[in-house]
Amino acid sequence: MPTDARRRDGGERSEVWSEVCVIGSGPRGLSLLERLTASAGRLRARGARLRVHLVDPRPGSGHVWRSDQSEQLLMNTVTSQVTLFTDDSVRMEGPVVPGPSLHAWAADPHTRAQSGLPAGEAGPGADGYPTRALFGRYLEWVLRSLVRRGTAEIVTHAARAVRLDDEPDGRQRVRLENGTVLGGLDAVVLAQGHLPVSPTPGEAALTSFARDRGLLHLPPGNPADAVLDGIEPGRTSCCAVSA
């Protein structure tokens, strides 16, 4: 948590704000946001307010769990074991602020309605495997519920961050691809998950081997991002899995 918050004069009252930027709105970035909003009361007791900039092309779900992907893609974790909230079983310094697990959220008519999910439809059971898209809906709901907490001002930026610089006073500045500059940041958190990687020599060799023979090689990656248009029905294909 920043130690040197700024005083901003706004009319009659002046307020001290701490500014944090979280880059990445996957489960890690959102969990951090949950903890920041849970602990913002401590900051307030010291006379400061918290503003968090959440930067991701998909604020809420992030890229991996985007809610508009194919319903055929499933999580490999069962719904009752997935949550963005804390309970008394967590050993930590911050306050416990309970919230629903993915299973409890999906089974609750109220939270289902808030997320535009069809009423009366059974969600996945406690031991069921949810779709990745459903987890994305949950993450989007979590973000909205953190905004509703009202303990911190949350500003979402649906864009990629492209540059991080130090400022002369020790704070930091983030530039977004749309030209927005977020300056005067007391802390910047990089919660970017799996970043794109260059193909290994072996993968590059397979790609060029396939290309030379009029075949298609799909390198490892998120299946939701794979372009499968080149595979015609009935065409012989081969799938290799590496750990």
Ligand X SMILES: Cc1cc2nc3c(=O)[nH]c(=O)nc-3n(C[C@H](O)[C@H](O)[C@H](O)COP(=O)(O)OP(=O)(O)OC[C@H]3O[C@@H](n4cnc5c(N)ncnc54)[C@H](O)[C@@H]3O)c2cc1C
Name the site residues for ligand X (rule: CB under 6 A): 23-29, 55-58, 62-64, 75-77, 160-161, 191-194, 222
Angstrom distance (rounded) from CA 28 to CA 139: 11
Cβ proximity to ligand X: between 48 and 135 the closer is 135
Smallest separation (angstroms) from ligand X to the CB of 229: 19
Angstrom distance (rounded) from CA 40 to CA 2: 12
Angstrom distance (rounded) from CA 107 to CA 123: 6
Smallest separation (angstroms) from ligand X to the CB of 3: 26
User: Could you tell me if 35 and 96 are in contact, meaning their C-beta atoms sit under 8 angstroms apart?
Assistant: no
Angstrom distance (rounded) from CA 30 to CA 55: 11
Cβ proximity to ligand X: between 48 and 161 the closer is 161
Report how far Cα 100 is from the mean position of its chain's Cα atoms: 17
Cβ proximity to ligand X: between 7 and 163 the closer is 163
Smallest separation (angstroms) from ligand X to the CB of 177: 8
Cβ proximity to ligand X: between 21 and 152 the closer is 21
Smallest separation (angstroms) from ligand X to the CB of 64: 4
Q: What is the DSSP letter of 51?
A: E
